[in-house]
């Protein structure tokens, strides 16, 4: 696969990257940028589940009413809401810890566990039917670990290629991670979060998240 096919398209981006790297020398400036990024991540994470956008007290009231004012159930709802907030905060902190180190398969798993309280890869085969009706099959679930190991090693090798633009390498990793589809749910969300970790790590750039 020729990953250098669009290398000439990156010149305008390189100008911005150069300016950003220059700004990175001045901690007060970049601390503001990173604070805004962290806020953006927190807002994105808070948008993932509908329940996190609702008032906890209202959720408890509705739950108690539906189940006959069961106070134990109300407490359980409250606990889950606050645990969910805690998981999203922990996920934000973990993102910034990942920026400081090379990413490994265990980091992807831990990322998923922090956010979804699940650690294991999917335990069944999966496929996607696109808008044209074509079926795209993801790798067998038995091959997920080996596929991720190969992807991490490939990513490290590509990083050593001085002719490849960092954005090309990061985009390729993002595409391959989505194509492996390692988890039963949330693959797009996890992939977008890891994409931003890599952008921040390599070129001090981040993307803006939508709510979907």
- Domain presence at residue 212: no
106 is annotated as contributing to ligand binding? no
190 is annotated as contributing to ligand binding? yes
- Domain presence at residue 68: yes
- Domain presence at residue 208: no
Q: Which residue has the higher pLDDT, 73 or 117?
A: 117
188 is annotated as contributing to ligand binding? yes
* pLDDT band at 90; cut points 50, 70, 90: confident
185 is annotated as contributing to ligand binding? yes
Give the helix/strand (H/E) hosting 137: strand 135-137
What's the pTM?
Answer: 0.68
Choose the catalytic residue: 120, 136, 174, 181.
181
Rounded distance, CA 36 to CA 45, Å? Answer: 14
- Domain presence at residue 120: yes
- The two tokens of residue 200 are 């921040």
* Section 159-171 average pLDDT: 86
* pLDDT band at 35; cut points 50, 70, 90: low
**Within the chain, where are the H helices?**
11-23, 27-46, 56-66, 71-98, 105-116, 144-159, 166-180, 187-203
| Residue ranges making up the domain that contains 185 | 7-203
Catalytic status, residue 165: no
- Domain presence at residue 210: no
Query: Considering its fold, how many domains does the chain have in total?
Result: 1
* Section 124-141 average pLDDT: 92
Quote the pLDDT of residue 193: 85
pLDDT digits (tens, 9 = 90+) for 113-130: 988 888 899 999 999 988
Quote the pLDDT of residue 53: 46
* Section 54-79 average pLDDT: 58
Quote the pLDDT of residue 210: 45
CATH number of residue 48's parent domain? 1.10.3290
Rounded distance, CA 102 to CA 152, Å? Answer: 9
Which CA distances in Å does 89 have to 49, 125, 140?
14, 32, 33
- Domain presence at residue 42: yes
Question: For residue 127, how many other CB atoms are within 10 A of its CB?
Answer: 9
- Domain presence at residue 79: yes
- Domain presence at residue 122: yes
């Amino acid at each position: 696969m020729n990953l250098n096919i669009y290398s000439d398209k990156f010149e305008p981006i390189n100008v911005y990257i150069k300016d950003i790297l220059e700004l990175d020398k001045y901690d007060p400036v970049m601390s503001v940028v990173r604070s805004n990024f962290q806020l953006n991540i927190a807002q994105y994470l808070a948008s993932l589940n509908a329940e996190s956008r609702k008032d906890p007290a209202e959720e408890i009231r509705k739950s108690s009413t539906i189940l006959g004012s069961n106070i134990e159930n109300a407490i359980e709802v409250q606990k889950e809401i606050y645990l969910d907030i805690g998981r999203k905060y922990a996920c934000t902190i973990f993102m910034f810890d990942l920026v400081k180190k090379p990413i490994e398969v265990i980091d992807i798993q831990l990322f998923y566990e922090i956010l979804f309280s699940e650690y294991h890869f999917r335990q069944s085969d999966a496929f996607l039917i696109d808008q044209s009706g074509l079926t795209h099959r993801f790798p067998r679930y038995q091959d997920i670990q080996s596929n991720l190991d190969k992807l991490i090693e490939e990513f490290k090798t590509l990083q050593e290629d001085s002719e490849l633009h960092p954005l090309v390498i990061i985009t390729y990793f993002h595409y391959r991670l989505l194509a492996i589809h390692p988890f039963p749910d949330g693959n797009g969300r996890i992939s977008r979060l890891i994409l931003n970790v890599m952008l921040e790590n390599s070129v001090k750039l981040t993307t803006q998240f939508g709510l979907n």
